[in-house]
Structure 1
Amino acid sequence: MGELAQLKTAAAALEAQRGNLGDEVVDAGLRPLLERIAALESPMPEERKQVTTLFADLVGFTTMSEQMDAEDVRAVLDSYFALWTASIEHHGGTVEKFIGDAVMAVFGMKQASEDDPERAILAALDMVTSLADLNEILATEQRPPLAMRVGINTGEVVVGAVGDRRQEEWVAVGDPINVAARLQTAAPVNGILIAHSTFRHVRGVFDVQEVPPLELKGKAAATRAYVVERAKPRAFRVPARGVEGVETHMVGRAAELKRMEDAFLNAADGEPGMVTIVGDAGMGKSRLFEEFAAWLDLLPDRIAYIKGRAGQGTVQDAFSLIRDTIAFRFDILDTDPPSVVRDKLSSGVGDSTAELIDVEAGGKPFALIGHLLGFDLGSDALPADIEAQATHELGTAAFIDWVRGLAAVDPVIFVLDDIHWADDSSLDLAARLVTEPDLSRVLVVCGARPALYTRRPGWQAGERRHHRIDLAPLSNRDSRSLVAEILQMVPDVPEDLRDTIVAAAEGNPFHVEELVKMLIEDGVIVKGSDVWEVAQDRLATVRVPATLVGVLQARIDALTPDQKSVLHRAAVIGR
């Protein structure tokens, strides 16, 4: 039963209780149901959206099905579709259709996320794994194993309803979908093949191998593609930024960097502190962190430098940010068995804080920290009779004592990026590191978008040791300097090219980089081994790079219907 049918059934059942419940109660209950029904029954306007499309198909299933009873074929397909649907929906995708023994899924169709391409690839990896699990079951039934191919592409499509289909049955139409289907047929057996349009969004997140350019049916130009081998461990992912082959100096952030340096010098002198760098996506938080780390490397003294990054979808996962931070620190992989995790934590944390904790009652410090952060240490890591509240308190104390032990030897810096996505438990624990008694020589540096203050408006408000640094857009002068830095291999950058990039980027450093990348891909800027050239005859209006569309769409999809309606009208009117 679809959502619309369920809502109508619920509304009818509530209406039937009017005599028992009274008009006031029934009307209050019906109001949201009827509003949702009206929204679903109203025609959905067509909308252009950037989505990531996944096509998956079984290999050799037609031949295999000819040797099986029809009911057995249906049972196998049902099992396979159920596993794949679970993988797709778990990662936020929508199953658009089943075609024979193939499935098409779309990510970003109903609700866009910045990481839709990443979600699609993670779903595909899960699908490959789940098919291997299904093959084990088929083996017990003496049936041949199944194999599959997956193709993934990212691009702009038209999303809307076809005929009388309503909002609960959205469809996507466009050439990027055809490309995903073609990639699926070209993928290796049990392999995942992604287009360059998808790869550009996930550089540094997956281990991939580029394949020779593909001649796909219906495409005039060859298509660049990559085979996905595996996901990098979450704590070790570093999305790639910048323009390949170019090293640039940081532009327009010297004052902000100086404030970070001063905060560290104060912490090293015994005055702990916290710095929160606040800026919209692309404003230069990550680059500022890189320059700060480079400055620290040149200092003569040793420093305990501990870094982590929150990820989308982890805000409800208690201690997920601190867990990933510790995983990176001690080289703990997602695939490590409990015994290996215990060894790495024990070696990294040690027993130096044992005298501060009732070990007999609470267990070893590394086990308390591991349990607090959600690592799988096995069932015997802690005493069986310890209460949950006591475990939480002792784990928190053990973590703080571990940091205190580090700070007694060397200054400690925690660099926590993207904390607007971080869970509250991690944020609370990070804040305690600069307010705990007898805990000095600690600096916590955080990167966040302004959305952090929507969720936690009082973040460190009034805290004497906290410093907020807001990253404003670059001035036109700094933006022109950044363009010159990136295009340093162009002997004489045309003024109209420079001004076009500066105007389109609107002071956002990441936008400048992505616009230059797009101009390279479009053949406007031609890279040579020593010198780059500009084909000015190809310089037309600058379109929005695909890498920025996802960020913009995620913000738009978060708006209410009325707000989106206003935005659509404003887009037509222009500035």
Structure 2
Amino acid sequence: MECGAGLDGPAGIPSATLRAGLSATTGPGPANGPANGPANGPANGPVSERRTTTVLFGDLVGFTTLAEARDPEDVRELLSTYFATARTVVGRYGGTIEKFIGDAVMAVWGVPLSHEDDAERAVRAGLDLVAEVTALGASVGAPDLALRVGLVTGPVAVTLGALHEGMVAGDAVNTAARVQAAATPGTVWVDQETRWLTEATVAFSDMGEHLLKGKSEPVRLHRADMVVASAGGAQRVDGLQAPMAGRDAELRQAKELFHATQADGRARLVVVSGIAGIGKSRLGWEFDKYTDGIDDELFWHRGRCPSYGDGGAFWAFAEMVRSRLHLAEGDDASTVEDKVRHGVASVARNAEEAAWLTPRLLALVSGGGTGSFDRTDLFSAWTTFLERVAGDKPVALLFEDAQHADDGLLDLIEHLLRTTRARLFMMVFTRSELLDRRPGLVRARGATLVELAPLGDDAMAAVVDALVADLPGRARAALVGRAEGVPLYALELVRSLIDQDAVVARDGRHVFVDQAHAVVDLDRLATPTSLQTLIAARLDTLSPLERRTVQDAAVLGSSFGYDSIRALAALLTCGGGSERHDLSA
């Protein structure tokens, strides 16, 4: 991810990117919107030409059975919701709905305008559609309702100027329908061409060769498993990486709140709380990839609250502004001042406003502090700068490790939420101790708390199976049990097995080879050093009485009752009831 976004475009609009740290996606706008109207079409009626497009076919599974058992009005409302969802998702990724056929949907990318990443947009949309239909089914008491999606990239005959049905025709259209029919419910399957065009961004599983109706030769198909990078493959992490599992509801909630800010212009704050390793950063990464892939302009900023050093009260926010102004770590004072003046001048409404903003931003980026300015004055200036940068576009601020945040930064976040006129969406990732210290952060209007609990065994099994192939049942159960619902624990345990040669890399994946258990005793898996230090850091945040409770309980195992603790340490006579309650929570 390249840090910084230019501010030298006309009227203050970035000339190269719209995301500080991420390139923007720009395109024709929502499906069936203005970009598909006459203004972008040929002047003298429809014109046919040959184009390479990506075609999506999606079909509901389980809908017929559901419809037979429901009132017709309920069925109509369900279908209407499904159609609206499909239009919204396809539009977000710059696609066009070609038609609905009963409970099936056909969409196309590359018409009326082509993009170099049309195939990637289509795969992302397919994955989102599958997730949305699953959520829709759960919301109406129909857990078996699912969508299966087929995607094919290839040449088609395009009728430019045609609206909706009849825009594209050709073998790719027919093949996409056949691929969809071959896919299993709740999955997205693609052809070889689509996989080749998107493999830098999406992880796939080879589903083998299939003989499709109308094809003389078998066709190799692939299942799209998950997005693993930003648009175009940026920030892809190769090697051992745990997938996100069991967090679909939380990610969907973040997406919905973000799009609500887009729609109504109101600032929103999402506080994501959970223990270390539970998946807070991964949720932010998935949201990052999502916003980078949709067909909307967005000003994106990310900052981390340092746990040590003299970074200044507003370090995380200063980090965001530095990237926005293209400030480099090695810039001298003169260069910093020149960049700040230039950046401010490109967005300020007039010279007077620029003269007011510049010294207050210099105070921020030069040390993450306040200088000699009044805090109220600074907050007003920083808020104004964000509003000028964003204009009428959404602006996102992601604060990581906020448990280390200074009260000044938390005051700023609350000020932004309360006063800004920008379409501001903030996410704060923190451990629970921040909310103990600052409970009002999630009580403000526009604030939402998302608490990440440990994953259930099924979700953890999915994480473990994605990390290691060919796991025997005993090994899987051992890893799931030791991970205790924390994805990072599973990842580090697998890394320890790799270090001991019980898991080896083979044909692009990691495989469990210690079938005879000659290398590792699965019943006595040692805790990796990486986890020991992580757990030690968590213990250091406890009060003396809480820490004593944990130390006493360690001899009892991973679960214990109050009677055992009472017998061991007589804590009830120490006034420790509330602390024991916190530990059990």
TM-score by length of 1: 0.51
Per-residue deviation at 1:351?
A: 5.4
State the Cα distance separating 1:475 from its structure 2 match: 0.6
1:365 aligns with 2:357: yes
Give, in angstroms, the shift of residue 559 of structure 1: 4.2
Residue 395 of structure 1, CA deviation: 2.9
The range that moved more, 276-285 or 399-408, is 399-408
Deviation at residue 355 of structure 1 after TM alignment: 4.2
Q: Give secondary structure in 2 for the equivalent of 1:277.
A: strand
Q: Give the match for residue 552 of structure 2.
A: 569
Tell me the distance in 2 between the aligned counterparts of 1:570 and 1:563: 11
Aligned pair 1:444/2:436, yes or no? Answer: no
SS in 2 for 1:445: strand
Q: Is the 8 A contact 1:372 1:396 kept in 2?
A: no
Q: Deviations over 1:83-107 (max 9, x none)?
A: xxxxxxxxxxxxxxxxxxxxxxxxx
The structure-2 alpha-carbon separation of the partners of 1:435 and 1:315, relative to structure 1 and needing over 3 Å to count, comes to farther
Aligned to 1:504: 482
Q: Give the conservation status (yes or no) of the 8 Å contact 1:315–1:423.
A: no
SS in 2 for 1:485: helix
Match of 2:223 in 1: none
1:416 is matched with which residue? Answer: 399
Residue 250 of structure 1, CA deviation: 1.9
Contact 2:304–2:316 (Cα < 8 Å) also in 1: yes
C-alpha change, 1:448 and 1:511, in structure 2 (3 Å) is same
Aligned-pair CA distance for 1:298: 2.0
- Whether 2:256 is the aligned partner of 1:262: answer yes
Pair 354,314 (structure 1): closer, same or farther in 2 beyond 3 Å: farther
Cα distance in 2 between the residues matched to 1:544 and 1:315: 33
3-state DSSP of counterpart to 2:454: coil
Aligned with 1:483: secondary structure? helix
- Please name the residue that 1:46 is paired with: none
**Does the Cα contact within 8 Å between 2:267 and 2:417 map onto a contact in 1?**
yes
Q: Does 1:348 align with 2:343?
A: yes
1:556, CA displacement in angstroms? 2.7
2:446 is the counterpart of 1:465: yes
CA-CA distance at 1:341 after TM superposition: 1.4
Paired with 2:277 and 2:242, the residues of 1 have a C-alpha distance of: 16
Residue 347 of structure 1: how far off its partner (Å):
3.2
Task: List per-residue Cα deviations over 1:227-252 (Å, max 9, x = no partner).
Answer: xxxxxxxxxxxxxx999624554211
1:558: Cα distance to partner? 4.1
Contact 2:270 2:426 survives alignment (8 Å) = yes
Distance change (3 Å), C-alpha of 1:315 and 1:475? farther
In structure 2, C-alpha distance between the alignment counterparts of 1:460 and 1:466, rounded to whole Å: 5
The answer to whether 1:478 aligns with 2:473 is: no
| Structure 1 residue 323 displacement after superposition | 1.4
> Aligned residues, how many?
318
1:477 maps to amino acid: D
Which residue of the other structure, out of 471, 474, 497, is the alignment partner of 1:519?
Answer: 497
Matches of 2:247 and 2:368, distance apart in 1: 41
Map of 2:297 onto structure 1: 302
Aligned partners of 1:356 and 1:430: how far apart in 2?
A: 28
Matched to 2:462, the amino acid is S
Given residue 275 of structure 2, which amino acid in structure 1 is its aligned partner? D
2:378 counterpart (378, 395, 400): 395
Whole-Å Cα distance in 1 between the matches of residues 296 and 261 of structure 2?
13
Note closer, same or farther for the CA distance 1:345–1:479 as it changes in structure 2 (3 Å cut). Answer: same
Q: Matched residues in 2 for 1:306 and 1:347: separation?
A: 19
Residues 272 and 449 in structure 2, CA contact (< 8 A), matched pair in contact too: yes
**1:104-119 to 2 correspondences below 5 Å:** none
String of CA shifts for 1:384-421, please: whole Å, max 9, x gaps: xxx9345x443322211111112324210111111111
Name the aligned partner's letter for residue 451 of structure 2: D
1:548 equivalenced with 2:528 (yes/no) = no
- Which whole-Å CA distance do the structure 1 matches of 2:505 and 2:472 have between them? 15
Cα distance per residue 1:326-377 (max 9 Å; x no partner): 2233343333210121123233333533649667xxx441221121454499
Query: 1:538: which partner in 2?
Result: 519
User: Where in structure 2 are the equivalents of 1:117-132 lying within 5 Å?
Assistant: none
Q: Which amino acid aligns with 1:408?
A: G
Contact 1:277/1:470, CA 8 A, preserved across alignment: yes
Mean Cα deviation higher: 328-337 or 299-308: 328-337
- Once residues 246 and 316 of structure 1 are traced to their aligned partners in structure 2, the CA distance between those partners, rounded to angstroms, is 32
Match of 2:572 in 1: none
Superposition deviation, residue 274 in structure 1: 0.7
CA distance in 2, matches of 1:315, 1:478: 40
Contact 1:275 1:469 in 2 (8 A): yes
CA distance in 1, matches of 2:365, 2:253: 32
Instruction: Name the CA distance, whole Å, in 2 between partners of 1:473 and 1:315.
Output: 34
What whole-Å deviation, never above 9, does each CA across 1:296-330 have from its counterpart, x for those lacking one?
12211210011111110369832122112222333
8 Å Cα contact 1:321-1:423 kept in structure 2 = no
5 Å-filtered alignment, 1:1-400, equals: 245-246=239-240, 249-269=243-263, 270-313=265-308, 317-350=312-345, 352-353=347-348, 355=350, 363-375=355-367, 388-390=372-374, 392-400=375-383
1:315–1:451 distance in 2 versus 1, CA, 3 Å:
farther
Secondary structure of the corresponding residue to residue 553 of structure 1:
helix
Query: Equivalent of 1:426, from 409, 417, 420?
Result: 409
CA contact (8 A) 1:308 1:415 kept: yes
The alpha-carbon distance between structure 1 residues 295 and 358, as it changes in their structure 2 partners (threshold 3 A), is closer
- TM-score, normalising length: structure 2: 0.50
Q: Distance in 1 between matches of 2:459 and 2:503?
A: 21
Instruction: From the superposition, tell whether residues 374 and 396 of structure 1 become closer, same or farther in structure 2 (CA, over 3 Å).
Output: farther
Is the alpha carbon distance of 1:311 and 1:527 closer, same or farther for their aligned partners in structure 2, counting shifts above 3 Å?
same
Alignment deviations for residues 28-73 of structure 1 (CA, whole Å, 9 cap, x no partner):
xxxxxxxxxxxxxxxxxxxxxxxxxxxxxxxxxxxxxxxxxxxxxx
% identical aligned pairs:
27
Partner SS, residue 507 of structure 1:
coil
**Using a 3 Å threshold, how does the CA distance of structure 1 residues 460 and 322 change in structure 2: closer, same or farther?**
same
**Cα distance in 2 for residues equivalent to 1:546 and 1:352:** 49
In 2, Cα distance between the equivalents of 1:315 and 1:539? 44
Q: Distance in 1 between matches of 2:280 and 2:484?
A: 17
Cα distance in 2 for partners of 1:338, 1:368 equals 15
Compared CA separation, residues 410 and 243, structure 1 to 2 (3 A): closer
Rate the CA distance shift 1:358–1:565 in 2: closer, same or farther, 3 A. Answer: closer
Deviation at 1:265, TM superposition (A): 0.6
3-state SS in 1 of match to 2:518: helix
Distance change >3 Å, CA 523–CA 430, structure 1 → 2: same
The structure-2 alpha-carbon separation of the partners of 1:454 and 1:494, relative to structure 1 and needing over 3 Å to count, comes to same
Three-state SS of the structure 2 residue aligned to 1:551 is helix
Change (3 A) 1:507 1:315: farther
Structure 2 residue identity aligned to 1:288: L
Q: Which secondary structure does the structure 2 equivalent of 1:527 belong to? A: strand
* Offset, 1:530: 4.0
Deviations 1:150-172 (A, max 9, x none): xxxxxxxxxxxxxxxxxxxxxxx
Q: Which residue number in structure 2 is paired with residue 456 of structure 1?
A: 438
1:538 aligns to what SS in structure 2? coil
